[in-house]
Amino acid sequence: MSKNGTRGITLIALVITIIVLLILAAVSIATLTGKNGILTKAQTAQGLTKQENAKEKVQVEVLGSLDNSGDIDLSVLNKNLEHVEGITQGTPIESLPAELTVDGCRVKIDGNGKVTVEGEVAENPTDPPKTPTFENVNTAETNPAGSMPTGATVVEENGKELNDANEGIVIKDTNNNEWVWIEVPKSQMPTGLTFTNETGYSEEDQAKCDSITAALKIYADPYTKGSADQIEDPKYNNWTDEWYDKLGTTYDGENEYSEIKYITSTSKFTEAKEYYGTIYKNNIETEEATSYESGTKYYAKITEKLNDVSGCGLTLSEYKETYQKMIKSVYNNGGFWIGRYEAGIDGTTESAEEKSEILELGRTQSNQPRIDVNNSPKAISQKDAIPYNFVYCSEAQKLVSKMTPDSNKISSLLFGIQWDLVCKFIEEKEVKEQGESRKASIIATINLDSGEWGNYINKTFSVNSTNGKCAIASSTNNYGATATWQKVPENYTKPAVTGSPEGVAIFSAGVMERNKKLNIYDFAGNEYEWTLEHATAYASSPCSRRGGGFNGDSTDSPASFRNNDYTTGASYNNSFRPALY
């Protein structure tokens, strides 16, 4: 009798089989649900698609609300958004930048109409925005974090964050403009002040602001009177931060009249007659006594409606409110932001080889076509941009006022005291780094001769730049007018002026590291820059320009230099630099 054999598996084989099955199951689950799993990726893709759809909905309506000048008409935009499905929050929009909730996504519209969605930039949409950290900041004295515009980030260069206060903190806003923090120590200002209106103008706050300004002028010495060679000259000691109109006339503070005394220049009298004649016609019911007789004084009613053509580009009330806003912000935050670069022309940061037509946007001579502020490219603070040139002070203020990336912040030209405070900031930081024994020498580079870090005719230096542009004078034009813009020649060395005009050259923003102090480029030389100061001694030349220019001598116009100029500024190389607060 025989018996059939039975077959089975051993316990070891069973265990191995189970382990293999578990591994396969784990792999399958991970493939489906892990961080990079199919289901997770599908969910992420679905979320991104939802965000892009929400962005597209808003973008279409933004484009449909542009007026003839390319600006957004908010009334049209709000009307268009009424028909968009899925908007649950954020309308009507009263100002830009603004934030909407569309299909559960946070959609943002910046001041220039760019539309973004929360999570669009970050690799993982759920990652929270990075909180900026700063080094060597004494928070009892200064608070750059508290003054940052919404959405701004710290700039990183060559793998290093520019977050060190001793080297110059640099941030980039949502419009890609770069700003440097200027420390103004709170210990240098009166203590214990509170304001009735933190963000606007208040008559009750004026005395407090005046006390702060007085303290800041003492702190910013020796720069408040311009460069050292100007201090003893009375004609350079008549600068003040006050409003002035197209002809250099100021509000008398009592009865809203503006007075012009003894106009002897025929051209100026004609201009005054036309300007105030318009005001007179618009206020005929007030029965103002207006004399047009040459050489006599006359009066005209100043109205808010017509002050927008004033020399400084602001109405009287706008000037007063802007100044108080600046002083209060400096007091509360211990500083303000300044544009890292001279204000450039949007569209000119590209390489000359890539887009040669951009070079035509930069004016190099006063007889070239005037810019149209309402239709000109926006002003930017970005590396390699060709700076605005030959602009009037009022034009510069209108351009710079649109640079704010945050509706809670103001962008404007620097007031005179702000320019002085930047000079003091550079002095303080360099003395801290180099030692007290170097203080006199450091002050001299700001107040006597800024040739070592500025672009002036009497200085020679090498220029190596991959994307820099320049305009170089030739024998066919003079020191105030240069040739057309071009790419910086390879291995170019700018000579000093020794009879040859080739030493007269203007450069695009941030071309040379030698022209930088504490991460601020071209604060000395390259182009004169408008401020909101008034030359009280010069009715015919009421505007102030600072810092010197490429067609000037570094000893005659160092960084702290102040000079009067006509409101029009047509014959000079005038640019500007934004402040943000």
Shared-domain flag, residues 494 and 563: yes
Provide the pLDDT for residue 80. 85
Same domain for 503 and 404: yes
Does 409 share its domain with 267? no
Does any domain span residue 230? Answer: no
Place of tokens 């909180």: 131
For residue 234, the model assigns a pLDDT of 63
Domain co-membership, 559 together with 461 = yes
Q: Are 384 and 508 in contact (CB under 8 A)?
A: yes
150: tokens are 């919404």
34 part of a folded domain: no
- The answer to whether the bond into 129 is cis (omega within 30° of 0) is no
Q: What is the pLDDT of residue 290?
A: 47
Instruction: Please count the structural domains in the chain.
Output: 3
User: How far, in Å, CA of 92 to CA of 154, rounded?
Assistant: 32
CB 338 within 8 A of CB 579: yes
Q: Per 3-state DSSP, what percentage of the chain is helix, strand, and coil (rounded to 5)?
A: 30, 15, 50
pLDDT computed for residue 268 by the predictor: 56
Q: Tell me the three-class secondary structure of 219-261, residue by residue.
A: HCCCCCCCCHHHCCCHHHCCEECCCCCCCCCCECCCCCEEEEC
> Does one domain contain both 281 and 381?
no
Inside any domain, residue 22:
no
455 and 521 fall within a common domain: yes
Contacts of 111 (CB under 8 A, 6+ apart): 96, 97, 175, 402, 404, 405, 407
Per-residue pLDDT, 165: 97
CA distance linking residue 157 with residue 339, whole number of Å = 17
Same domain, 264 and 356: no
Residue 404 domain-assigned?
Answer: yes
For residue 371, tell me if it sits in a domain.
Answer: yes
The angle at the Cα of 84, spanning 81 to 85, to the nearest 5 degrees, equals 145
Does residue 261 fall inside a structural domain?
Answer: yes
- Does 502 lie in the same domain as 375? yes
Sign of CA dihedral 450, 566, 391, 250: positive
Cβ-based neighbour number of residue 88 at 10 Å: 10
Q: Which own/partner pairs from 471-475 qualify as long-range (CB within 8 Å, at least 24 positions apart)?
A: 471/362, 471/364, 471/505, 471/506, 472/502, 472/504, 472/505, 473/501, 473/502, 473/503, 473/504, 473/505, 474/501, 474/502, 475/501
Asked whether residue 388 falls in the same domain as residue 270, the answer is no
Query: Pairing between strand 574-575 and 528-535?
Result: parallel
3-class secondary structure, 307:
helix
Instruction: Give the predicted TM-score (pTM) of the model.
Output: 0.73
Note whether residue 312 is domain-resident: no
Helix (H, G, I), strand (E, B) or coil at 543: strand
For position 257, what pLDDT does the model report? 42
- Residue burial 203-232, b: 16+ Cβ < 10 Å; e: rest: eebeebbeebbeebbebbebbbbbbbebee
The neighbouring-strand residues paired with 460 are none
Both structure tokens of 206: 């004026």
Dmax (CA) of the chain: 147
Start-to-end C-alpha separation, the chain: 106
Please say whether the beta carbons of 403 and 414 come within 8 A.
no
- CA-based nearest residue to 527, from 463, 576, 458, 468: 576
Query: How far is Cα 188 from Cα 202, in angstroms, rounded to an integer?
Result: 23
378: domain range?
A: 337-415+448-580
CA dihedral 408, 414, 418, 423 (to 10 degrees): 130
Sequential pLDDT tens for the chain (581 residues): 444 555 566 877 777 888 888 888 777 766 655 555 555 555 556 667 888 888 888 888 888 888 877 788 888 888 888 888 888 777 778 778 888 888 888 888 887 788 888 754 333 444 455 667 899 999 999 999 999 999 999 999 988 999 999 999 999 999 999 999 999 999 999 999 999 988 788 999 999 999 999 999 999 999 998 888 787 666 656 788 988 876 666 654 444 444 444 444 555 556 666 665 555 555 544 444 444 444 344 444 444 333 444 578 887 788 999 999 999 999 999 999 999 999 999 989 987 666 677 777 788 777 777 677 778 899 999 999 999 988 888 889 999 999 999 988 999 999 999 999 999 999 999 999 999 999 999 999 999 999 999 999 999 999 988 889 998 887 555 555 567 888 898 889 999 987 667 778 999 999 999 999 999 999 999 999 999 998 766 655 678 899 999 988 999 999 999 887 654 444 567 899 999 99
**Contact indicator for 150, 389 with CB cutoff of 8 Å:** no
- Looking at 117, 141, 158, the residue that finishes a domain is 117
Instruction: State how far Cα 253 lies from the chain centre.
Output: 31
| Phi, psi (degrees; rounded to nearest 5) at 269 | -65, -40
Show which of 78, 96, 117 is a domain's final residue: 117
Q: Do 275 and 406 sit in the same domain of this protein?
A: no
Q: Report whether 496 contacts 473 (CB < 8 A).
A: no
Strand, coil or helix: 162: coil
State whether 375 and 508 are in the same domain: yes
Residue where one domain finishes, among candidates 77, 93, 117: 117
Query: Per residue, what are the HEC states of 328-394?
Result: HHHHHHCEEEEECCCCEECCCCCCCCCCHHHHHHCCCCCCCCCCCCCCCCCEECCCCCCECCCCCHH
Q: Is 578 helix (H, G, I), strand (E, B) or coil?
A: strand
Tokens of 5: 């054999």
Same domain assignment for residues 519 and 397: yes
Residue 27 falls within a domain, yes or no? no
